[in-house]
Amino acid sequence: MDLIWEGIKKAAELLWRLDREVISITWLTLKISGIATIVSLVLGVSTGMGLALNKFPGRQVIIALINTGMGLPPVVVGLWVTLFLWRNGPLGSFELLYTPTAIVIAQIVIATPIIAGLSLTAIQNLPPNLKLQILSLGATRLQLVWLLAREARLPIMAAIMAGFGGVISEIGASIMVGGNIKGYTRVLTTATVLETGRGNFDSALALGFILLLLSFAVNALLTHLQQRERPR
């Protein structure tokens, strides 16, 4: 129990002193997972919308694949992304392996199915007549998509939170494609693993608390956006 207390104290101390390494790791974590979530949001919501509004052969197979993808193991994603980004791999000439961009790519692969799957259900959950009503009022296709997304705003925000939560807590892919390089690709989760391996359990715990704090702050902001009064 002492150790947990030590961890909390250390976390407070690191934040209070504005420890440069910890601050930069935290900032990098937020930036990587934030960008990955935003890109996944665009990809995921448009995929979800497309699947909700169109009927075509093979649609159910794609939905089943997306639902499976919602539980994609990060290490498997990490391995595949590594194979593609290797110097001698298909995308090797971009020299992206062991860079923050590589982690963003892996996290996009992890978060996109989560956001796509949840936004698909969100759109399908809207009253079926809503679409007809909007169309009969003379809306264009683009206006229809925008209005539907607006109506499904609450569950889509929940999808964003799920996607963000999935990538910020993920370690398998980050350590594989990022390499946990000090000051360059070390994020909160990989730093926690390293400190644990070094036997610095107090530092590891402290980093864990900071990760939770960061996650809470982002989710509190998103929840605020989700739950406030809807402007009419």
Partner 1 sequence: MKRHSKFLFALICYAMLTCNHLGAQARQSIILATTTSTQDSGLLDVLIPIFEKQSGYLVKTIAVGSGQAMAMGKRGEADVLLVHSPTAEEQFVREGFGSNRRLVMHNDFVIVGLESDPAGIKSTKDCADAFRRIANSKALFYSRGDESGTHALEKKIWELASIVPTNDWYKETGTGMGQTLAVTAEKKGYTLTDRGTYLSLEKTLNLAILSQGDPILKNIYHVIEVNPDKFPKANSIGAKQFADFCVSETTQKLIAVFGVDKYGSPLFFPSALPVK
The alpha carbon dihedral of 166, 183, 75, 7 has a sign of negative
Residue 179 binding partner 1, by CB under 8 A: yes
Q: Binding mask 23-52 vs partner 1 (x if CB under 8 A, - otherwise)?
A: --------xx-xx--xx-------------
Which listed residue (53, 165, 171, 201) binds partner 1 by CB under 8 A?
A: 201
Residue 104 binding partner 1, by CB under 8 A: yes
CB 163 within 8 A of CB 111: yes
C-alpha distances (whole Å) from 89 to each of 93, 94, 109, 121 are: 8, 10, 18, 37
Nearer to partner 1, 101 or 112 (CB): 101
Nearer to partner 1, 5 or 86 (CB): 86
Q: Binding mask 119-158 vs partner 1 (x if CB under 8 A, - otherwise)?
A: -------------------------------x--------
- The interface region with partner 1, picked from 61-69, 136-144, 177-185, 206-214 by CB under 8 A, is 177-185
How far is Cα 9 from Cα 13, in angstroms, rounded to an integer?
6
Residue 58 binding partner 1, by CB under 8 A: no
CA–CA–CA angle 104, 107, 112 (5° rounding): 120
Residue 225 binding partner 1, by CB under 8 A: yes
> Quick one: DSSP state of residue 231?
P
CB 156 within 8 A of CB 226: no
Residue 149: φ, ψ to 5°: -60, -35
> What is the binding site for partner 1 (CB under 8 A)?
31-32, 34-35, 38-39, 86-88, 92, 95, 97-101, 104, 150, 179-182, 184, 194, 196-199, 201, 225, 231
